[in-house]
Chain A
Amino acid sequence: MLPSMYRGLWRAAVHTLRASKGNPPSRFLSTCNGVSSGLADAETIFALSSGHGRCGVAVVRVSGPASATALSCMTGLTRSLPAPRTALLRSITDPQSKEVLDRGLVLWFPAPHSFTGEDSLELHIHGGPAVITAVLQALGSVPGMRPAEAGEFTRRAFQAGKLGLTEVEGLGDLIHAETEAQRRQALRQMSGELGRLYQDWSHKLKRCLAHVEAFIDFSEDELIEDGVLNQVDRSVCDLQAEMERHLKDERRGERLRSGVQVVIAGATNAGKSSLLNTLCQRPAAIVSPIAGTTRDVVETALDIGGFPVLLSDTAGLRDSPDLVEREGVRRARERVEQADLTLVVVDSAHLPSDAQKAATILQGHLRSVLPTQEQPKTVFSADRFLLVLNKTDLLPEEQRLKLHRELRLVSGLPPVSLISCHTNKGLQDFLTVLHSSVKTLCGDPLSGAPTLTQARHRAHLQQCFAALAQYQRYRDIDLALAAEGVRLALTSLGRITGRVGAEEILDIIFKDFCIGK
C-alpha cells in the first residue's frame, strides 16, 4: 500500500467535481464559456500550519485562486477585500449554515506578494480542537478547495521561485517528514473500523469499474451478459447511499483521540508495563515477573509538560506458541508502525559492561522492534525513538555510571536514558528527554491531530460521491463517460486507500470473465 499511497499524496487531486444533479449543459456552463479558464483551473489548498497542544492561537493557511472566495464567504466581506497584509478582526462563519465558528484575525495576501506567490489567506483562530475542526471543515465546503498534500505550500512556493537555495535543498526532506507523519496518521485511521469501511468501498468500486471496463472492452465479441451492467447499477446506487449516510453522519464514525502517539515496546519482561504505570502514576497495567503478562495494548491519555500524549503499553516481542500472545505481538508491531515516538525498553541487567558491546546489543533491540519491512535501511532517528534502559537498581552503581557516560558517545543510537521503575532513579532525567521530544513533535501540525486527516478523507469522499453521480448521469447516454465517473470515484477513494492501477482492474476482468478474443 505504501508506494501507491506516496503517489496519491504527491499527486494533487485533479478533478474537483462538484456534486450536482443538474443536466450536463448547465453543469459545464462556466468551463464552456471559458469563464474559468487560466488561473481558475488551479486548485486552492488549505491546512493548519501551527502546532497543537498548548497553543492559544492556531493559524490556518489558504493558498490558490479561490482564496478570495473563501475569504469573502467566511468573513462576510462581500463588497471588498481587506487591505493587503493587514490584520482585521472578524467573525468567521460557516458559508453554508452561516453559523459563527470563531472570532479571529484575517490576513489577506494577494498574489504575488505571498509565501506561495499565489493569492493567500491566513486565519488566526482560537487553538481549541473543536474550533480548528469546524474551520477546516467549513473551508473544505467552499467550491474548489481541498486540504493540502504533504509539503504542498512549500512546493508551490518553490515553483513560484519564492524559496532560497537552502530552503530548496531542504524541501525534499521536509516533504519526506510530512509524508511520513501523514502516513502514520493515515495508518492509525485505516487500521480501525473506518479503514475497513473504506477498504470495502474501494473493493466494491474496483469490481464495478472492472465490470464496466469488461463490458466496454470485450462485450461485443464475448459472452458478457447485459446483466453485468445492471449489477453495477445496483452497486453504484448502494455505494452512493452508504456514502451519503456516512458524510451526513455528524458523529463521523469513531472519534480519534488527539495527542502525540507514544508507544512502549521491547522484549518481554523488560519492564514496559512498569514504565507505563510509573509515567501515569497509577497501576494502569498489570505487572508481574512472568514474561508475557501484557498481551493486549493498554492505552492511557497523559499530559506531559502540557502536551497531550497517548501512551500505549504493548506485549513483549517474542515468538510464542500461544495464539493470544502472538496476536498481542502483532498488535504491538502495528502500534510501533503508527507511533510518532517509540520508547524501546531494555533490561539493563542483561547488558555487558563494555559500552561498544552494549551498543551493538541495543541496536539489535531496536531492529527487533522495528516493523520488518523497514529493516535494515532505516536510521534510528532521534525524533522517533528513545532508548530506555530499565532496572538499573540491579546494576552496580559504577557500571550504571559507566553506561550512562559511554553510551551517549556512541553514534547511531537514539537518546539513551537509564532509569529504575522500582526506585524511580533517573526518572526525572528521562522525563526531561521525553518532554523535549514530545514538544518537538507537537510543533509539527501533522502529528497527533486526527482532524487534518479526517478533513482530507472527507474531501476525497465527497469527490468520490460526486463522481458516482457522473456514472448515473451518463449510464444510458455514453458508457465511456459513465465509466470515467467510476474511475474518478476510485481515484478519489484511492487517495485514502491506495492507488488502483489499470493492471489490477484487468486482473479482476480476467478472473470474472472468460475473454476469448
Chain B
Amino acid sequence: MSFSPSLNRYASHMLTKKLPPLQSFLSRFSRHTSHLARQQYDVIVVGGGHAGTEAAAAAARVGAETLLVTQKIQTIGALSCNPSLGGVGKGHLVKEIDALDGLCGRAGDWAGIFFSILNRRKGPAVWGPRAQLDRQQYREFIQSELLSTPRLTVLEGSVEELLVSEPNPEEPGHHRVTGIHLANGSQPISASSVVLTTGTFLSGSLFMGQSTSPGGRIGDAPSSAGLSWTLRERLGLRTGRLRTGTPPRIVKDSVDLSLVEVHPPDSHPTPFSFLNKNIRCKPEDQLPCYLTHTTPGVEKVVRESLHLNCHIQEDAKGPRYCPSIESRVLRFPGRQHQVWLEPEGLTSDLLYPQGLSMTMPPDVQLRLIREIPGLHRAEIHTPGYGVQYDFVCPTQLSPALQVKSTQGLFLAGQINGTTGYEEAAAQGLWAGVNAARWALSMPAVALSRTESYIGVLIDDLVSRGVTEPYRMFTSRAEFRTSLRPDNADLRLTLKGFEEVGCVSALRYQEAVRVRDSLQDAMAALQALTLSTPIWRKKLPDMRMSENKNTLVNGMEVLQYNDVSFEMLASAFPECLSSHKEFAQRIKIEAVYRPHCQLQKKEIERIQKEENMSLPQDIDYFSLPVSLSQEVREILDRVRPTTLGAATRLQGITPAAIVHLLNYVRHRGQEERRTHRQQPEKREEREEELAARNASLPQ
C-alpha cells in the first residue's frame, strides 16, 4: 500500500512548514550522533514522542547509558494533535511528572502561550492546570533538554527488529531482550533494556475519506513490520486495535473572530513546574482561545458523507471522551456541540479547532467547517485524518511497565492503549526509570495508586486492561483528596530522590525546603491556640459559630471558608508572617488534612497489601493451599504482582486472599532464611549508584 496522492501532498506541505526553524537543532543533534562509537547501551528507547523523551531522560537521570532511536530527529517532542498540555486529571499528571524531575512541566512553562487553572471554583483537589502551547517552542525545549542530558545519545533511524534471547533463569520470563537491529544498520546495537514507545505506529493506518495508507502520523514513514511481528509472533503478546483522529488545522486569517466568543487566559499565569516561579511568556503577551459551536448544517454534512468515510465505518474502538465530530453528532443528534479554536503558537498563522476531529474527504471537511459560526469563509491548511493502530494489551505488563514474559522489555504510551500526551509522558518516565534500574541490576520500583495519579494510571492499565483509549480522569483516583496537584512534590519528589534515583539534588533540596517550611507553618498555627472570643476579636470578619468558650487553634480557624492565611498572618505577624510564601498551600493543607486523615487507614491497608509481592513464577495450579479451580484460573491468567492487586481482581474471594497471605508469609520467612546466607549484591550496587547520582553535576 502506498500513500494516496492527497495524503502525500499534505504531508510534504507540513514538512516544509516545519523545517526551517529547526536547522540549528538538527545540526547539533547530528554532531552529537556522529561520534556514535558505541554499539552497546544500558537502555535503548525507541520513539521520540512524549513517552519516549521522558523515558530516555529518566533512564539517563537514574544513571543508565541511554540511546534514543527515532525515525526523525526533527519531530522529537512534536505535539502531533492538540497544542495544549494539562487540564483536569491530565494537569495532575503533569505536576507529578514534574515532581519526578520529568520534562513536560518545564517544557510547558517554556512554551505556554495561554495559561489557566480549570475548575478554579471547585476545590483545590480538582484544580486543572492547563496551557496552550507554542508547538515550535515546545519541540525546541524538549530537544535542547535531551541534548544537554548527560549519558543520553540520540540516533536517527528505524528499528527493523527487536533482538531477543534465552532468559536469565534466575528471573521470571520466557525471553530476554538483548538489543535492536536498525533498518540501515550493519551491526546490532545491544542493550540490557529496551523501552518501546512507538505510539500509533504499531501497524498504524491513516484514514481520510475513502483512502487509507500505512503510517502512524501524517508526514512520517510507517514503522517497520518487523517490530510488530516480533511482539506478536515471537513474544506471543496479545494485541488489540484502537482508533483516534485529529482535526483539520484552520488558517487564522480566514476566521471571522467577531463571530466567536473570546476566552482570555488567567492574568496571573501559574506555572506547571515546582521549580518555576514564572512562565517564560509575559502574562500580557498570552493569546486568547475562542469558542464557537456546531449547527444543524454540520450534522447534515456528516450524515450525507458517511458513505465516503471509511474510518467511521470500521469497528476499532475510539475514545468516548474525545470522539470525532462524526460520532458526536451521530450519538447525540440535534444538539449544539462546542468547538474551541486554540492558538498554535505566538507566530503561527493557524488555529486548532478542538472538538472537530474528522476523517471525511478534504472537500467535505471544508464544507463542514463552513457551517460553523465564524468559520463561514475559513480555509483549511491541513485536513483532519484518522489513525488506527495496534496496542499491546497492558495486562501483560508488570507495574514497572515491563513485559512480564520478556526480561528487559518495557512499553509506554499509546502502545499500551492510552491516549493523551500526559498519560504517555507519565508512563514513559516510569518505564524509563525501571528500564534503567533493570539494566543497572537494581530492583524494580512501583508507584502505588494511593500516592499518585501515575500509580492509578499504571495500576488500571496492568490490572484491568483497556477496552477504549484510556484517559485520566480525577474520578479514577479513589484518594483524590490526598492526591492533589499542589502536593505532588511532597508525595513524589522526596521518594523520587531517596528511593527511585530519578530526581536531581537541586530539586530534592527545594522539596525538602518546602516540606520543612510547611511543617513549621502548621506547627506555628497549631501552637496558636486561643479561645473563641479572642479569635473573634482578632478576626472580626470571620463568622465563627462556636458560642462556647472553647479553645481553637490556627489550623482549625484556617478551615473556615472565609479565612485566608494572609488574614491570619496580618493578625499575628510575629509568628506567621515568615510563612507567607506558602500561604495558599497552607490553606489547602488545613482544609484537606482532616479528610486525608480519614483516608489514611484505608491507604495504609492497601499499601501493606501492595508491599506483599506475589512471586511471578508461582504455579497457581499446584499451589498447596486450598483454592478453588476458578480462583486458580483467574490468578494464573492475570498473575497479579502483589496481594493488593489480587484483592482487586473480580472473582477473588476473601478466603483466597487469606490463603495467599499465609503462603506469602511462609515463603517470605523461608526466603529470609536463605537470604541471610547469601549477602545481596544488588543492594551494594544500589547504594553505590545512589551515591553517584547524588554527586552528579546539576
Contact = CB atoms under 8 A, between A and B. Distances in A.
A173 B647 CA distance: 17
A168 B475 contact: no
A241 interface: no
Contacts of A172: 625-626, 655-656, 658-659, 662
B481 A3 contact: no
B475 A377 contact: no
A29 interface: yes
Given A220-B119, A479-B123, A516-B355, A173 B655 contact: yes
B80 interface: no
Contact of A484 (B89, B481, B546, B656): B481
Size bin of chain A's contact surface:
35 or more
Contact of A516 (B338, B475, B650): B338
Interface stretch (B18-26, B304-312, B594-602): B594-602
A151 B475 contact: no
Top-3 shortest CB links A-B: A478-B123, A480-B123, A176-B655
Given A28-B594, A481-B123, 5 more contacts: A3-B652, A41-B601, A172-B625, A481-B481, A517-B87
B331 A514 contact: yes
Interface in B332-350: 332, 335-338, 340
A403 B605 CA distance: 55
A176 B653 contact: yes
Size bin of chain B's contact surface:
35 or more
Contacts of A505: 475
A31 B555 CA distance: 12
The winner among B475, B557, B648 for most chain A CB atoms within 10 A is B475
Given A6-B653, A217-B473, A517-B321, A31 B594 contact: yes
A509 B88 CA distance: 15
Interface in A368-418: 377
Contacts of A253: none
Contacts of B656: 172
A220 to B, nearest CB: 4
A92 to B, nearest CB: 30
B288 interface: no
Given A3-B652, A9-B654, A179-B655, A24 B119 contact: no
A168 B647 contact: no
A284 interface: no
Nearest to A34: B526
A41 B594 CA distance: 13
A215 B653 CA distance: 35
Nearest to B601: A41
22 contacts: A4-B650, A7-B648, A10-B654, A23-B546, A26-B545, A41-B600, A42-B601, A171-B662, A176-B653, A217-B473, A218-B88, A220-B88, A223-B335, A223-B337, A477-B561, A480-B122, A480-B474, A481-B125, A482-B123, A514-B328, A514-B337, A517-B321
B173 interface: no
Contact of A217 (B88, B355, B630, B648): B88
A29 B557 CA distance: 11
B126 A480 contact: yes
A217 B92 CA distance: 12
B128 A377 contact: no
A470 to B, nearest CB: 9
A310 interface: no
Contact of B320 (A150, A176, A215, A510): A510
A24 B563 CA distance: 13
B446 interface: no
B476 interface: yes
A331 interface: no
B556 A478 contact: no
Interface string A30-55: 01110000000110000000000000
The winner among A377, A505, A515 for most chain B CB atoms within 10 A is A515
Interface string B655-672: 111110010000000000
A213 interface: yes
Nearest to B602: A14
A506 B659 CA distance: 34
The winner among B122, B555, B652 for most chain A CB atoms within 10 A is B122
Contacts of B144: none
B616 to A, nearest CB: 23
A25 B658 contact: no
A216 B88 contact: yes
B572 interface: no
Contacts of A176: 653-655
Nearest to B597: A31
Interface in A486-517: 502-503, 505-506, 509-510, 514-517
A221 interface: yes
A249 to B, nearest CB: 29
A168 B625 CA distance: 12
A481 B338 CA distance: 29
B231 interface: no
Contacts of B340: 221
